[in-house]
Structures are given as C-alpha cells and as structure tokens.
C-alpha cells in the first residue's frame, strides 16, 4: 500500500469513527428529544428558540455526521459539525471544568482535520470525481 493509500485509509477511519459515533451517541438521541413531544430545553445562543437550536444540532450531529461517514459532500458536512462542536466547547461549556469541554474538543479537532484534508479516496465524493 502506498503512502497516499495509507492517508486515504486514515481519512476513512476518521470519517467512520467520528461520523458514526456522533450520529449514534449524540444526533439520534437529540432527534428523539426533538420529536418526543415533550417541552424542548436546549441552549438557545442565537435567540432562535430552543426548538430551532435543537433542530440545528440534530442537522449537524445526525445528518451531517452520516454524510461525513460515507464521504458525501464531506467538506460541506464538516462545517455544521465544526460549528456545533465549537458552540458546545466555547459557548455551552466555556468556564466549565476541562472534563466537560473535552468531548467537544475530541470531536472538533478531527472534523477540522477532515475539512482541511478532504474525504480521501474511499469516499462517495472521490468516486463521483473519478467518474466525472
């Protein structure tokens, strides 16, 4: 395997791990909360209301995370994830102990790396580019 293919495998593993983990552990539970019929209590830092704020988090943490995992619209999908994790770390948990910020940082950094590096060869984006 060439150096470039190792790079592509690393990007695949990053996308799968951080995309699927986000969708399963954070996005799906938030979607259930949003559609559960109970009063929504969620950080409303934009002033749009807690329902819209939670909906934006669901969009990023579930739908964009799944797009990232399969490598479709990867760089665009990474942007809402980066914004969501940035807000989680630097707004929602700013001033909290580091242990409360750590989870958001551990997702934020790989998303920034994926945004900068792109999806790699083992992605739908690369296969679309190849066939074009």
Identify whether the C-beta of residue 85 lies closer than 8 Å to the C-beta of residue 114.
no
Q: Which two tokens stand for residue 76?
A: 């665009």
Could you read off the pLDDT of 73-101 as tens digits, one per residue?
Answer: 999 999 999 999 999 999 999 999 999 99
- When the pLDDT of each residue in the chain is averaged and rounded to a whole number, the result is 94
Quick one: how many helices (H) and strands (E) in the chain? Answer: 7, 0
Identify whether the C-beta of residue 27 lies closer than 8 Å to the C-beta of residue 56.
no
- Quote the CA–CA distance of 88 and 131 in Å, as a whole number: 38
Q: Label residue 1 by pLDDT band (50, 70, 90).
A: low
pTM value?
0.93
Residue 107 pLDDT more than 70?
Answer: yes
């Amino acid at each position: 395997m060439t150096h470039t293919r190792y790079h592509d495998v690393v990007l695949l593993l990053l996308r799968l791990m951080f995309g699927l983990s986000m969708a399963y552990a954070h996005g799906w539970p938030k979607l259930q909360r949003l559609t559960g019929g109970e009063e929504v209590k969620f950080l409303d830092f934009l002033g749009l209301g807690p329902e819209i704020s939670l909906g934006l988090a669901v969009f990023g943490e579930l739908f964009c995370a799944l797009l990232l995992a399969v490598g479709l619209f990867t760089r665009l999908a990474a942007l809402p994830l980066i914004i969501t994790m940035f807000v989680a770390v630097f707004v929602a948990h700013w001033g909290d102990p580091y242990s409360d910020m750590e989870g958001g940082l551990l997702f934020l950094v790989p998303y920034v790396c994926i945004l900068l590096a792109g999806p790699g060869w083992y992605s739908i984006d690369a296969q679309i580019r190849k066939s074009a």
